[in-house]
Amino acid sequence: PVFPTPLQALIAVPNHAALPAGARILDAGCGAGDGLKAIRLAYPGAQCIGLEFSRPLCWLARLRCPWAKVRCAAIWLDDWSAYDMVYLFQRPETMPRAVAKAQAEMKAGSWLVSLEFEARDLQPTAVVEASAGRPVWLYQWPSTAKML
């Protein structure tokens, strides 16, 4: 299924997750490029990288986002250690896998950002509203586990 990111969804994220110009931001599962467009609007000086498993969607994202580097690849096989931020708009059932991958690979100071779906095992650094009822969860690495 395709879940496009609304263009304005990440506009408030830089208020909580400052990144230097030239930061590398991954849209993990970029679909047709909507998330890449939202990232570019929020972080105009960043290097935008998209990964998409579907070849037709990957091709479409390349066409719609010629300023981004888009690769046809599985997000679970890519190494996330090179990125300053990893953006996800996944499904609730894939969030535990994303958290495990982030814990294994993300560098100190980097950010995991998820539209709508919370990483339930982590304590968020911030939560902002993308639009009414649509939270954006921000986790800075190293993230801490929630206390039960």
Can you spell out the DSSP letters for 62-124? HHH-TTSEEEE--TTTS-GGG-SEEEE---GGGHHHHHHHHHHHPPTT-EEEEES---TTB--
Name the 3-class secondary structure at 55.
helix
Residue-level pLDDT, tens digit, the chain, 148 residues: 677 999 999 999 999 999 999 999 999 999 999 999 999 999 999 999 999 999 999 999 999 999 999 999 999 999 999 999 999 998 899 999 999 999 999 999 999 999 999 998 899 999 999 877 899 999 998 876 665 4
What pLDDT score was predicted for residue 1? 65
- What is residue 141's three-state secondary structure? coil
Q: Which two tokens stand for residue 40?
A: 């570019």
Q: Give the pLDDT score at 142.
A: 84
Token representation of residue 103: 């814990």
What does the pLDDT read at residue 143? 74
Answer for the pair 86, 106: CB distance below 8 angstroms, yes or no. yes
